Chains A and B, each alone.
Chain A
Amino acid sequence: MSNAANLTFSQPTRHMTQETHHDYTGSKLGMWIFLVTEMLLFGGLFLVYAVYRYMHPADFHNAAQDLNVFIGTVNTCILLTSSLTMALSIATLQKGQRQAAVWLLLTTILLGIIFLVNKYFEWTAKIHHGIYPNSAEMLRFPQGEILFFGLYYVMTGLHGVHVVAGVVLLSIMVNVIRRKPCDVHVFGAASPGPAGVRRLTLTDATGHEMWTSEGIGELIDSVSVVVNYRPSEGRMRPQDYVALENCGLYWHLVDIIWIFLFPLFYLIT
């Protein structure tokens, strides 16, 4: 045992602390600033919409009557509901209820996909009626209506792209939060094993051996240990759920954009 007593364990060095450094507020601040840029991206389109609607109020009014308010309303409700399940998913994960979080996240993804399917049918119906950019049918429309449908396709299209990106992002998150946690309570001690070779072992709280090192030579008197700690149920730290929170922020933003797109295109009849 004297060997073990000589061996000291050092906490990970500065390099490790840099890598494991985590700034919870900082990552969310970064995400919020990104959301601001997204808002301005769509903001440019809202500006174009505002100018053309100002210039062609009657055409916009007439063109909007071709859109199906029922589908629009249903899709609005779907996205609002998906925002609820998203918020609940984060709330459950924060309390450590991993399983519930996964199911709520899957529901969110499903609602996102249903939204896209509705959108698909809506677009194809329009295209069947010959209303799509540069179509012979559409070029006969008054100019304001051409602009209305141009903006309709671009704005709902860009929004749809964001929904797709959100669905992909959330699917990745499902995998991330499903991973089973491993729980390390005790750093091990080095003791001379059989044949007098010193080994380092890590054990969990119950004393169950989890890992044993190669033999440690006589000349080594200090060992650094790095443990990739994953939390157990119910003991969540901010860095365990900040990624999901940031994805959630993105998802809510996509919802907010739809909250504005819906009245601007469907409800101006």
Chain B
Amino acid sequence: MKRDDMNADHQHHEHPAISYGKFVGVWLALLMLTALTVAASGLQLHVVGVVTAACVATLKTLLVLYIFMHLMYEERIFKIALAVGVATLAVFIALTFADFPFR
């Protein structure tokens, strides 16, 4: 049986500390991605532009989640909870779009 399945008080794993430099690096990357998405929107790329904006926003989100919010060091259940939430929202949107485009 896995240890994190037990009712053990005070059990927690300390995170390996993330260096300040890494945080600053992520921040610079976020700012650069923002610049990229603003620049791309000026190019009138239509479908490509939408896809770019979505990819950039997702990438930025992953950086914030994994580094700033320490998700990469958390237990599996944290990632599952988040994935379940994202999947649920995706399904809600997908099933709603079984209606509108086919009216």
Tell me, yes or no, whether A and B come into direct contact in the complex with CB atoms closer than 8 A.
Answer: yes
Indicate if B1 sits at the interface (CB-CB under 8 A). Answer: no
Q: Is the CB of A69 within 8 A of B17?
A: no
Q: Is the CB of B64 within 8 A of A32?
A: no
Q: Which of B20, B31, B34, B81 is close to A91, meaning CB atoms less than 8 Å apart?
A: B20
Size bin of chain A's contact surface: 35 or more
Q: How far is the CA of A88 from the CA of B18 in the complex (A)?
A: 9
Q: Is the CB of B85 within 8 A of A252?
A: no
Given A32-B82, A91-B18, 19 additional A-B pairs, CB 8 A: A22-B10, A25-B11, A28-B78, A36-B81, A39-B89, A43-B89, A43-B92, A76-B34, A77-B34, A80-B34, A81-B27, A84-B24, A238-B12, A256-B65, A259-B61, A262-B57, A267-B38, A267-B41, A269-B41
Known contacts being A32-B81, A77-B31, A80-B27, is A25 close to B12, with CB within 8 Å? yes
Known contacts being A25-B12, A51-B100, A259-B64, is A39 close to B93, with CB within 8 Å? no
Shortest C-beta distance, A88 to chain B (Å), equals: 6
Size bin of chain B's contact surface: 35 or more
Residues from chain A with Cβ under 8 Å of B11 in the complex: 25
Q: Could you give, for residues 68-89 of chain A, a 1 whenever the CB lies within 8 Å of some chain B CB and a 0 otherwise? A: 0100010011001101101110
Residues from chain A with Cβ under 8 Å of B27 in the complex: 80-81, 83-84
Q: Which of A35, A51, A73, A94 is close to B38, meaning CB atoms less than 8 Å apart?
A: A73
Indicate if B84 sits at the interface (CB-CB under 8 A). Answer: yes
Q: Is the CB of B78 within 8 A of A32?
A: yes
Q: Is the CB of A259 within 8 A of B81?
A: no
Indicate if A50 sits at the interface (CB-CB under 8 A). Answer: yes
